Amino acid sequence: MRILVLLGGNSPEREVSLASGEAVAKGLDEKGHQVLKMDPANPEKVYTMTESVFKGSIAPLPQGEDAALTPEQVVRILDNIKKYSIDLVFPALHGGWGEDGRLQALLEMTNIPFAGSGACASALAMNKHLSKRIAASLGIPVPDYFFLPRTEIQRAINLCSDFGCPLVVKPNAKGSSVGVTIVKEIRALAPALEAVQNLNDDLIIERYIAGREITVGILDGGALAALEIVPKDGFYDYHHKYTAGQTEYICPAPISPDLTEKARQYAAAVFNLMECKVFGRVDFRMNKKGEMFFLEVNTIPGMTSSASLLPKTAAAVGMNFPELVNRIVVSSMNLKR
């Protein structure tokens, strides 16, 4: 099968996407597929497997800002898909239009097969406010929170005075913990709000859940293993995600069978109700009482070779990385959308 891996893009998670895309391409190549690579931000060039798009390491902080695709870039992307007789597009794009449903909508409208969730599910998953509402409708606990549109961010200081600390300030529609801050006292709120304003996004402020970070990989709508994330210090922010040695990953998570099953049931339930497809990851916080609180669904989780969590949860059930990406391709083709 001839597969085009899309990597890079125009979001602060660009470097992570480049690393993910290279790993996906290598895994698919090992399974015998004909693999090409393209950065939608620079679609003039299509890369073969002998050429590397990612030439460095992931920086300790996210780089750049979201930028929209131009009409000229859209035309070039579609032209290249046709020119190279692509059977399937594999988006390995994190954040921005690559993950929020806009790219998926373009591919759906042009009847181009692609890997993973469709436009509607991608948009829902990227929107933390809406995904929390969906999880809550299933009876899955979510942290107490409130949502503010970007035009009303300045109201947050008064609202948070009543809400109390500690709390978590985050943009409503970003990934890789970009712009996320744990605020332990009200006087530290202003710089946290500024970080979200600089991203030009709406705001989520939620109660900080003291406890443990648990994530569950999803494949074909079913839950894989539960994994515990243990940062060496602070919390699991962008730096801890992509800096070697800053986080320990324990898979399967060292929690009771009952709690493991609860996390897996919650993860599969919310993933499927949102009509997400094929693969993803669902994140939780677990408090000291063993209560599991839903945080978010990732429809294009990181696929880097060293730090990414979905491949670790697949490995825990006996599936290596090339097998995982090949399974994603086969299942995506079987969707026949």
Could you give the residue numbers annotated as active site? Answer: 13, 176, 242, 281, 283, 296, 298, 302
HSE-up of residue 187 (Cα within 13 Å, Cβ side): 0
Distances, alpha carbon 217 to alpha carbons 20, 228, 243, 304, 312, in Å: 16, 12, 21, 15, 8
Distances, alpha carbon 300 to alpha carbons 7, 31, 148, 254, 262, in Å: 11, 21, 25, 26, 23
Both tokens of 62, joined, read: 């996210």
Please give, one letter per residue, the 3-state secondary structure of 148-160: ECHHHHHHHHHHH
Type of residue at 197 = Q
Pairing relationship of beta strands 167-171 and 145-148 according to DSSP bridges: unpaired
Nearest one of 144, 125, 127 to 136, comparing CA atoms: 144
Q: CA 306, 309, 310, 312 torsion: positive or negative?
A: positive
Distances, alpha carbon 185 to alpha carbons 153, 300, 302, in Å: 18, 34, 32
**C-alpha angle with apex 248: 247 to 253, nearest 5 degrees?**
135
DSSP state of 15: H
Strand partners, 249: 229
Distances, alpha carbon 275 to alpha carbons 115, 131, 238, 278, in Å: 14, 12, 28, 10
Residue in the structure block whose two tokens are 């299933």: 138
Distance CA 337, CA 332 (A): 9
**C-alpha angle with apex 319: 314 to 324, nearest 5 degrees?**
75
